[in-house]
């Protein structure tokens, strides 16, 4: 059997409770980007190998960094509203895995706005994390970083409105920050067509 701290993805037969526990400990002890971060590293992640839906976000913000709970902020409130989902289901790791492209808060840019997630984070962890998620049926690609990483470069809003092209594996969405509000208000198709389809996909997979 492979070592629990191997740098390669695990196979499905390796996914024991002990392996998951050791892997999560390894993630939470990561200091790879310590010199680039404004605060001490605090990887924020929530998953179980039983999860059927993966939310692939951007990176934690300040409140998420403080609390250690993914999407525990206004952006999370907006995303849960899009999904029509309460917090108890949203944070049920046996149903929904939450794995951002950058696991730690990256800080802010000189002119405002959060820095992009450091690319070495995804290079170091993402493939290994996904290997612990063998039951994922749908991945919500939330924002440009997860979309570009998975689908190649493209336009977030165009992909969102053409979500059918990416099903059944992926459902692209804009990042649910306040900046998306103006686009959402000016694009009635998002609420009229995209959101009902999103909720239907999620409900079907979770068997609700």
Residues 6+ apart with CB under 8 A from 1: 14
Query: Residue 114's pLDDT is what?
Result: 82
> What confidence tier does 7 reach under pLDDT thresholds 50, 70, 90?
low
Q: Which residue is it, tokens 């998951």? A: 20
Upstream peptide bond of 48 is cis (omega within 30 degrees of 0): no
pLDDT of residue 110: 85
**How high is the pLDDT of residue 156?**
98
Mean pLDDT of 61-67: 94
Residue ranges of domains in the chain: 12-206
Which DSSP helix (H) or strand (E) runs through 128? helix 119-131
| Mean pLDDT on 178-182 | 92
- Burial label for 115, CB within 10 Å (0-12, 13-18, 19+), is middle
* pLDDT for 111: 82
Please tell me the predicted confidence (pLDDT) of residue 4.
Answer: 32
pLDDT score at 6: 40
Q: Could you tell me the CATH superfamily of domain 12-206?
A: Uracil-DNA glycosylase-like domain (3.40.470.10)
User: Can you tell me the distance from the alpha carbon of 186 to that of 192, in angstroms, rounded to the nearest whole number?
Assistant: 12
Report the distance separating Cα 134 and Cα 69, nearest Å: 23
What local confidence, expressed as pLDDT, does residue 10 receive? Answer: 75
Residues 77-133: tens digit of each pLDDT: 999 999 999 999 999 999 999 999 999 999 988 887 889 999 999 999 999 999 999
Q: How does DSSP assign 65-84, residue by residue?
A: HHH--TT-SHHHHHHHHHHT
**Structure confidence at residue 24 (pLDDT):** 97
Question: CA–CA distance from 169 to each of 78, 164, 188, 190, 203 (Å)?
Answer: 23, 10, 25, 20, 15
Share of the chain above pLDDT 70, in %: 95
Bridge partners (DSSP) listed for residue 101: none
- To the nearest whole number, what is the mean pLDDT of the chain? 93
Please tell me the distance from the alpha carbon of residue 27 to that of residue 40, in angstroms, as a whole number: 14
Let me know: does 71 contact 79? Beta carbons within 8 Å.
Answer: yes
């Amino acid at each position: 059997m492979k070592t629990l701290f191997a740098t390669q993805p695990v196979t499905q037969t390796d996914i024991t409770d002990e392996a998951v526990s050791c892997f999560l400990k390894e993630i939470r002890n990561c200091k790879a980007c310590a010199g680039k971060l404004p605060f001490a590293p605090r990887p924020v992640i929530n998953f179980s190998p039983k999860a059927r839906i993966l939310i692939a976000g951007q990176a934690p913000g300040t409140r998420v960094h403080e609390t250690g709970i993914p999407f525990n902020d206004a952006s999370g409130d907006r995303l849960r509203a899009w999904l029509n989902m309460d917090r108890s289901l949203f944070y049920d790791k046996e149903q929904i895995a939450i794995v951002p492209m950058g696991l730690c808060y990256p800080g802010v840019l000189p002119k405002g706005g959060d820095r992009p997630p450091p690319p070495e984070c995804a290079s170091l962890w993402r493939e290994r994390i996904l290997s612990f998620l063998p039951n994922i049926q749908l991945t919500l690609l939330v924002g440009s970083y997860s979309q570009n990483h998975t689908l190649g470069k493209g336009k977030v809003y165009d992909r969102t409105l053409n979500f059918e092209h990416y099903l059944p594996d992926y459902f692209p969405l804009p990042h649910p920050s306040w900046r998306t509000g103006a686009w959402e208000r000016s694009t009635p198709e998002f609420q009229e067509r995209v959101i009902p389809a999103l909720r239907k996909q999620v409900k079907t997979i979770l068997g609700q």
